[in-house]
Amino acid sequence: MGLRERKKEKTRLAIIDAALDLFLEQGYESTTVEQIAGVVDVSPRTFFRYFTSKDHLALWFHDHGEEIILETLADRPQDEPPFTALMHALRAVLTDVECSTGEDAERFLKLRRLLDANPHLIGRSVARGAQTERRLAEVIAARRGADPDKDQLTHLIVAFAMSTMRVGFECPRRDGTVAEIAARMAESIDLAERSLRPGWDL
Amino acid sequence: MGLRERKKEKTRLAIIDAALDLFLEQGYESTTVEQIAGVVDVSPRTFFRYFTSKDHLALWFHDHGEEIILETLADRPQDEPPFTALMHALRAVLTDVECSTGEDAERFLKLRRLLDANPHLIGRSVARGAQTERRLAEVIAARRGADPDKDQLTHLIVAFAMSTMRVGFECPRRDGTVAEIAARMAESIDLAERSLRPGWDL
DNA sequence: ACTATTCTGTCATAGTGTGCCATAAGTCAT
DNA sequence: ATGACTTATGGCACACTATGACAGAATAGT
């Protein structure tokens, strides 16, 4: 990896860290891009070259999570029931969170605190989730040999899966270690699996 | 109802209709508040007194839907299983849509076409839905005698219910009459009820 | 060291959203 | 009706997000 790419990654993380701290300190809305850029010593214009928007910065975690889900899904056997495959993908995200160490874990916890404090950001977060949902619907539809524009069950399977993930992440709204949060997410996955009728997703 | 209130309602509807038409004609993003205000012959400043944002205008339907859901929920017997009660509330929204006539129905159809054409707006729509979800979680938690900050099942019940609604509304992405769309929504409610294990929401 | 590529800063601009104050319109007494 | 009172509107200024265009600086490949 060249110097250029290392520098970019360093700037990217510096922006994230500066922004996260400012957000938690003085609120999301009342923190301006100019301020964030000022702390990192970068022009506001450059900020928008790293993140397409303030929202994108606050939700950078989704990009990573979506990647993991899509990769895991591609590796699952094609004849596995769709919802089961999705739950495996969710567990993969979970594992990734659990294994994150040091600065990454800290960022994760800060992000969680940020979302807890800003209901408005939860909205943006689920909006980002809707994007993931559309992509997942394509994949699941292909697995089921269905037309994603017509098959309601495909969309219901994906929506239920994303709901499970979201509930696990958002609830309960209390601080804890990464391990504790991961345990909660695992709990919600179990809960969802127990709630659904066997074979409902075939 | 006095002249003042009638005038306000008239302006409100005029703004909605002008906006909806402009959105469908030239796209949501590329339609400015100034344009909308211009068509209705109102100052841009006044626009923001009727709608807090451009998004709020595009999602005005949610306000109405949420109201119906909360009212219906309050009328359902307290000992009814939570998910069942929520499905009744959803059907109440459905009935309202089916019964809407003339201009209202037309607005509903335009809104649907708008959402179909703008994935970005779907995001805003589910973000608005998240707000509703939080309110419903409070109500359902009270029914179940649970703490909304701790009980995952409460959130899962609400999330599944909202997912059902969303799938019914969004899928399939094809035009149709109000009756056809309502039928699709009813279908997705049935699908969800069949998919869940009896008594899962107790 | 030379050149091409990529990143960055500066400037200009469009658009959303808000506070403030003066004015116009609707409401309600007498 | 006339007046006083309340509320809606318009106009202005302003902060902020976001994007396009261009020039200059840093890096990469040879």
pLDDT in tens, A32-55: 999 999 999 999 999 999 999 999
Domain that holds residue B120: 59-195
CA distances from A97 to A106, A109, A113, A132 (A): 11, 10, 15, 18
Among candidates A98, A104, A202, which has minimal Cα distance to A153?
Answer: A202
pLDDT band at B196 (very low <50, low <70, confident <90, very high): very high
* Packing angle of the helix pair B178-195, B102-117 (nearest 10 deg): 60
Q: In which element (H, E) is residue A130 found? A: helix A119-144
**Is residue B175 scored above 90 in pLDDT?**
no
Strand D contact set, beta carbon < 7 A: A 2-5, 7, 31-34, 44-45, 48, 52-55; B 4, 7-8, 11, 41-43, 45-46, 49-50
Q: Does residue A200 fall inside a structural domain? A: no
| Distance separating alpha carbons of residues B112 and A90, to the nearest angstrom | 31
Number of domains in chain B: 2
Give the separation between CA A19 and CA A57, rounded to whole angstroms. 8
Are residues A130 and A147 located together in one domain of the fold? yes
Q: How would DSSP label each residue in A28-83?
A: STT--HHHHHHHHT--HHHHHHH-SSHHHHHTHHHHHHHHHHHHHHHHS-TTS-HH
Note whether A94 and A190 are within 8 A (CB): no
| pLDDT above 70: percentage of residues in chain A | 100
Asked if A131 and B143 touch (Cβ cutoff 8 Å), the reply is no
Per the prediction, chain B carries an average pLDDT of 96
Say if residue B168's pLDDT is above 90: yes
| CB interface of B with A, residues 101-130, below 8 Å | 119, 122-124, 126-130
b/e burial code for range B73-107 (CB count within 10 A of at least 16 → b): beebeeeebbbebbbbbbebbbebbbebeeebbeb
- B18 confidence band (pLDDT: 50, 70, 90): very high
| pLDDT digits 0-9 by tens, B45-85 | 999 999 999 999 999 999 999 999 999 999 999 999 999 99
- CATH no. for residue B156? 1.10.357.10
Domain with residue A22: its CATH number is 1.10.10.60
Confidence of residue A70 (pLDDT cuts 50, 70, 90): very high
**B142 and B45 both lie in a single domain:** no
pLDDT in tens, B102-114: 899 999 999 999 9
A176 pLDDT tier (thresholds 50, 70, 90): confident
The pLDDT of residue A87: 98
Which residue in A126, A150, A170 is closest to B126 by CB distance? A126
Tokens 């596995």 -> residue: A80
